[in-house]
Structure 1
Amino acid sequence: MKISSIVDIVDGELLNSPSISFINNISSDAKKVKTSDMFIAKNIEDLQIAIANGAYAVIFEKDFEVIDNEVAFIKVKNLELALVKIVRYKLSILQIESYFCNDETFDMLKLYQNNHTKPIFLISKNIEKIFKFIDDIKDGDILISKDKNILESIYPNSKKFEKKIDEKNIKNLIKHSLFELSFSYKDIYFSKLRLSKIYLSSFLNIYDFFKGNIDISKLKLYSNFKSIFIDKNFEPIESGKSDSFIICQTNKNLIPIEIAYLKNEFKYAKTIFISKYKIFLLDEKEQIIIKNIEDLKNILKNSNFNCVYLIGFTNQESFEFLQNSQKFQTLF
């Protein structure tokens, strides 16, 4: 891509006159910059590393001095907007499908994006990550994002991924637990699916979009409303082998949905809410605030519960903490 074209696209200012006129790729990781890349610079230290690694150009909004006249220094007023303009320019020549979706659907699509007949590229809220694969996007490919604004800014006329599921197509629905379902859909029987009922619509939309070509067993890797069952020593055990479990959530958009579901479907048992920060939809008496995961064990020891809804901590870090803290105790 011509450096002069980049300057025009982003409405930037070229601060020097390097002899180099082209760049091949765009990178946001200084340590991974290769010869002929353009680097997205946010601080002087990374800028210096990128140049040392062979960057042909750097783009930035801060007041950096030109420290190498053989490298194109491109200054812009708004770096994120400049990156959006570059992505939009690159995609404008392509005929692709673009969809925006809900958070829960986006997370599930991560499990299945390689199962479609066409390449699917998942667009995150961080515009810089797009440059890792932007040159791989071809005519006919599919873009999906949970951020409608980001998607519209880089490729207009996107469609909503989710469609209203006709409930007449869902038959013999059995909720075995909060985390397991059986049902028939369009005459296909699904037995003991590892999925909460609140995310059934997302699954069926993905199932339809992929025309049934998905590995259902991958649902065990789905992170939303996933349980960590624990024994009397608060050590993780096999699913269903205990009456006590922990559900973790870090996505603020999904917390209200999951709390409402728990309060409605798990009334017969005791749920406690533990969070890294205050949750306004809960009464103060309903929630326990902790600063870090190490505080969790003492809360568990001094509480009566069947379910712990843990906010602000991932399933993985919570599982590893519970597992490792028990191992640590056995050493003494």
Structure 2
Amino acid sequence: MRSTATDATAIGRRALLWGAAVGFGLTLAPGLARARTHLLVSTARLPDGRFGVVALEPDGTLRFATPLPGRGHEPVVARGRGEIVVMARRPGRFLAVVGLADGALRRSLSAPRGRHFYGHAVFDAAGRLLYTTENDYDGGRGVIGVWDVAAGYVRLGELDAHGIGPHDLALGRDGRTLAIANGGLLTHPGSGRAKLNLASMEPCLTVLDPATGEALRRLVLPKELHQLSIRHLAIAPDGGIGFGMQYEGPLDHAVPLAGIWAPDGTVTLMPQDSAPPAVTRNYVGDLAIDATGRYLAASYPRGDGVGVWDLRRSRTVGLVRATDACGLAVEDGTDRLWISDGTGAIGPLDAGRSLMRDTLVPVPGLAFDNHFARI
């Protein structure tokens, strides 16, 4: 979803949830009785123009639509607690905790003074800690916020991200380490969303031990690719780390936009033979590796498509056309990839069989935003 408007209004009473549903002419699905059914949870622009988080049944029935105080980024699901956490995208400061069963706001928190969120977070393996990517904007460095979930999301402290501009992060396959996509872009809220160090940026991918704060491994791209901002991550079944990038150089430059960092340290950059710069706009919005570990997908929301690669054969599968497509998710135990887009369509793609996706459009006027989760 390309809109960058924000709403400074604070999250209101629970009546906002019901008011949104009634205003759209919809019926909320029963909450507690259906809390364990599979859901699609996404940030979105709501039909009335506000930004929010929505949950949909697989048939497209809207379970809830909860307005947020501004544009959210990634919904992170704590299944054991029945909660969704949504952070503001850069340079926002809100963190909202929403009930998974009914969409009710449970907590509304803010980034500490001198910090803002980059939009992504991840829970530890036990679900006791939440890690958030943040900007120490006066210090010019990236940090990872640490929050005690059981204590009501109390801030415990922060870790050095070992890079500038951490965007996405993911829990490693070992359940202990964190992979951090440090985009390398220096920003300051006083300058809005301006990028202040394009000539000297140094993106990197860091594997962090959160118990000690130590950077265990660090990947830096070749100097000639220093303007490839590493932004999004996907963890492969074998522990490899997929990464998607956004190029800050000239728009007509042909550069790789996705890669794999294998457990043995080998780095493979994916060919862009099915999607040149005129198609991709050199911008990846999300990344996914299917549950079998065979297919890697990267979305190009500015170019209206999703690129797919076969990792076993080391070749391009092709390009899926979808208007303003950004959100990607995987389906457990299959090679199916799910795609959401800014037209309000969402549905699966069988990458091994066809590049045609099945879609449903649940609510007229609903536009899915950058990321969603399938649970």
Q: Where on the TM-score scale, by shorter chain, does this alignment land: which range?
A: under 0.3
Relative to the length of structure 1, the TM-score reads 0.26
Q: TM-score, normalised by structure 2?
A: 0.23
Larger strand percent: 2
Which protein is bigger by CA-based radius of gyration?
1
Q: Which has the larger helix fraction?
A: 1
